Homo-oligomer: A and B are copies of this chain.
Amino acid sequence: MLKGRNLIDPMDFTLEELEEVFQLADKIIENPAKYSKVCEGKLLATLFYEPSTRTRLSFEAAMLRLGGRVLGFSDANSSSVAKGESLGDTIRTVGCYADIIAIRHPKEGSARVASMYSQIPVINAGDGGHQHPTQTLTDLLTIRNVKGEFSNHVIGLCGDLKFGRTVHSLVKALSRYKNNKFILISPDELKIPDYIKEEILKKNNTEFEEVERLEDVIDQLDILYMTRVQKERFFNEAEYIRLKDSYILDAQKMRMAKEDMIILHPLPRVNEIATEIDSDPRAYYFKQAKFGMYVRMALISKLLGVC
């Protein structure tokens, strides 16, 4: 039963609970009109203590397409809520007005704190560099719908694997399924943290390999998850110049990739995927945004207990 629950960490849900969300998402994709009024009379509060237009619009579109309504704020600066009041008090007040909360906050752990004070379900829409569970659900629903299953994939994660929270969450999530192999593609400075390797990958007996250059492994991949590599993250300029092109996906590299490899990206992208790839049928990063809306529709419906 997901009714009344919170989603703070992508691992809060069991595989069965995730499956429940994805199955509802599938039904919504198949027949959106059938679900266009299931949240009638329900209010979503979007409490965005830092701006994140993409995420906010995705949540709002999800609620509106379910027939619900939305209120909230998009920036704490133009919000009196932030001034002097504790998060707990704000949450208790908003709980008087709304039926469900999506909260974005720059401080790690704040979504969990919010859920402790809330009488209504709380969804973490990003708390600092910590968690962003609906992005993980988005990634998973895309993989499930395009690839048909969560198992038996070779997944390339490319770019900044050190700081990228979406990457960490995706590793955790996909390690719960059988027979996946990760190829971790990053410069030495931006390798995935040790605790992910030790406590997640090895504990789950998930195969993985660490490499430095995308071109060396792209031909093996079923799924390529791209993230941005910021120049400032490198130790020195020479190293950056030597490697930067390895983390830019272009038509030349795509010629080496499998016919059915899919490209994912949490967006926004800067230049790590050349725009010449946008029309490649293997580019799924914009379709992914649509799956993001659908998975939020399913999630909201489940937490509100209307479906």
Contact = CB atoms under 8 A, between A and B. Distances in A.
A238 interface: no
Interface in A37-63: 41, 43, 45, 51-54, 57-58, 60-61
Interface residues of A, number: 51
Q: From A71, A84, A289, A292, name the one whose CB has the most chain B CB atoms within 10 angstroms.
A: A71
Which 5 A/B pairs are nearest by Cβ-Cβ distance?
A61-B97, A85-B268, A75-B78, A96-B290, A53-B81
Contact of A268 (B51, B89, B268): B89
Main secondary structure of the interface of A (DSSP, over half): helix
A72 B57 contact: yes
A152 interface: no
A293 B96 contact: yes
How many copies the complex holds: the figure is 3
Interface string A120-157: 00000000000000000000000000000000000000
B64 A43 contact: yes
12 contacts: A51-B80, A52-B80, A53-B81, A54-B80, A54-B81, A57-B73, A57-B94, A74-B79, A84-B268, A85-B267, A93-B289, A96-B290
